[in-house]
Amino acid sequence: MKSNFDLVKDNEKKLYLKYLAPGIFGMMMLAGYVFVDALCVGRALGGPGLAALNVSTPTVSLMYATGFLFATGSSTLYSIFKGKNEGDNARKVYSLGFISALCVGVIYAILGIIFIDKIAYFLGATSNTIHMTKQYMLTILGFAPFFILDIFMNVSARNDKAPHIAMCATIACCSINIILDVLFVFGFNWGIFGAGIATAISTVISFIITFSYSLSKKSGLKLMKFVPNIKDFLRILTNGISSFISEMSVGIVTIAFNKVILMQIGEIGVAAYGIIANINLIFFSIFMGNSQAMQPLVSISYGANKFKRTFNFFKLGSIFAVTVGAIFTCICIFFSYPLCSLFVNDTHIIAVTASALKIHGLAYAIMGMNLLFDAFFYSVERPKFAVSISLSRALIIVLSMLFILSNLFGSIGIWMTVPVTEVTTLFIGFILFVRYKNKQLALNLENKQAA
């Protein structure tokens, strides 16, 4: 049942906290898919299994990125239209986003299954990992429509004043995934295929829960007949592209890191990076949950022309990002060894990973703010600013730094890449935010003078 509260008028701090817990929990459960798979596969299959899972990461990233592309793009517009009291336009943009996400998911499934061998080798599979890589990837790609629509419906429910529905879906999903992972990987001895099918089944159940909510009388998420409009479609893509870049960058950067690590460290380095990537999923998901909590609140306030309110929500998100980021960095520095030992028993892999994590973990002190800048800009329909941040931190700077630092400092330079990238991006985000805020304050002053 949809909660009865007013996103335009109610107390800002209470609303933010109301959305924060479901947002963070939802994103953590989403990251939990891959995290739990990594724990089970690492314990059951060791380094080669983790390497195969890491090679498959870009496939999962593509599913998430596409889901967020349509979810963020359509949900931002949905909330803006709701703020303007334009209910029909809100339902129309939701319907367009849903159908688009479904169609792209079907295309991914078909092409992925047909070209599975070429995709696996391109992503970095070797003769030692190709069989396990294909097993996992085929399962994920076969369920591509559900992965994409699950994310789409989860974000849409939060923007329809139902964060509790999104949270319930992800709780059910993660719980089922853990149970099935243990059952399939250890009980049935299905190996990495068991981890993949467990994730797929839990995703289907999560989608069923959120989609069932959309069919209830209280839901505003109603599919409706409409004439496709290229302008609306492009507007969805424009608002969602920064989220796509942020999510997809995980896959692209993983490919680049895997290739550099293979050359400089070898397969043990790939396994170490796989562990760091899974730890990063949890920390990153909490930052993303904070951003996702802020997005509907900022978008609907922006649509209602309450600009001071939009900045207040950003301030609340910033306090959380900075505080939690400092805690995560401390965890990586002081508890790196026990954290890495959760995944494998091999002391050599643990030692390599723990040493790398102490350097990589410095990035978390800043990462949350960069993601918040990105989310704020697409929430107020400033896609150029959002894309500037996404491209900077997710692709351009990080890949440049990987090449430069790895050549200058070797393996240490590889692990320095992300912290240096986050620091550089922070300056870009801060400059763009100050520019936007000053422009908005000037416009408000002009409107008051004209009135």
Long-range contact pairs involving 391-397 (C-beta distance under 8 Å, separation at least 24): 391/245, 392/424, 392/425, 392/428, 393/246, 393/249, 393/421, 393/422, 393/424, 393/425, 394/245, 394/246, 394/248, 394/249, 394/252, 394/253, 395/245, 395/249, 395/252, 395/253, 397/421, 397/424, 397/425
Residue 1 located in a structural domain? no
Q: Is the pLDDT of residue 380 over 70?
A: yes
Q: Is the pLDDT of residue 4 over 90?
A: no
Q: How many CB atoms lie within 10 A of CB 348?
A: 12
**Is the separation of the CB atoms in 257 and 273 below 8 Å?**
yes
pLDDT at residue 366, as a whole number? 94
Distance CA 172, CA 440 (A): 42
pLDDT at residue 390, as a whole number? 86
DSSP labels, 17-36: HHHHHHHHHHHHHHHHHHHH
430 token code pair: 């801060």
Residue 197 located in a structural domain? yes
Q: Is the pLDDT of residue 238 over 80?
A: yes
Q: Worst-scoring range by mean pLDDT, 56-65, 143-152, 182-191? A: 56-65
Residue 441 located in a structural domain? yes
Instruction: Name which of 249, 297, 285 is nearest 402 in CA terms.
Output: 249
pLDDT at residue 1, as a whole number? 41
% pLDDT > 90, the chain: 40
Q: Which domain holds residue 254?
A: 12-450
Residue 52 located in a structural domain? yes
Residue 7 located in a structural domain? no
pLDDT tens digits along 287-319: 988 998 898 899 888 888 888 899 999 999 999
Distance CA 117, CA 125 (A): 9
Instruction: Count up the domains in the chain and report the number.
Output: 1
Considering the chain, what is the average pLDDT of its residues? 87
> Hunting for tokens 């494998």 — which residue is that?
344
> Hunting for tokens 């949905």 — which residue is that?
78
Distance CA 421, CA 399 (A): 9
Residue 315 located in a structural domain? yes
Confidence of residue 341 (pLDDT cuts 50, 70, 90): confident
153 token code pair: 């419906």
pLDDT tens digits along 56-109: 878 888 888 899 999 989 998 998 888 888 888 899 999 999 999 999 999 999
| Residue 129 falls in which region: left (phi positive, over 0), alpha (psi -120 to 50) or beta | alpha
Hey, what amino acid is at 172? A
**Is the separation of the CB atoms in 382 and 440 below 8 Å?**
no
pLDDT at residue 203, as a whole number? 92
Q: Which residues are within 8 A (CB) of 182 and not within 5 positions of it... i.e. 6 or more apart? A: 40
Distance CA 260, CA 246 (A): 21
H/E run at residue 75: helix 12-83
271 token code pair: 């396994």
- What mean pLDDT is predicted for residues 217-228? 86
Residue 99 located in a structural domain? yes
Distance CA 429, CA 86 (A): 32
Q: Is the pLDDT of residue 2 over 60?
A: no
Residue 29 located in a structural domain? yes
Higher pLDDT, 255 or 445: 255
pLDDT at residue 248, as a whole number? 78
280 token code pair: 């990063």
Q: Which residues are within 8 A (CB) of 439 and not within 5 positions of it... i.e. 6 or more apart? A: none
Q: Worst-scoring range by mean pLDDT, 24-28, 220-224, 362-366, 426-430? A: 24-28
Distance CA 364, CA 376 (A): 19
* Displacement of CA 356 from its chain's centroid (Å): 23
Gap between the terminal Cα atoms of the chain: 42
Q: Which residues are within 8 A (CB) of 272 and not within 5 positions of it... i.e. 6 or more apart? A: 261, 265, 349, 352, 353, 356
Burial of 245 (C-beta count, 10 Å sphere; 0-12/13-18/19+)? buried
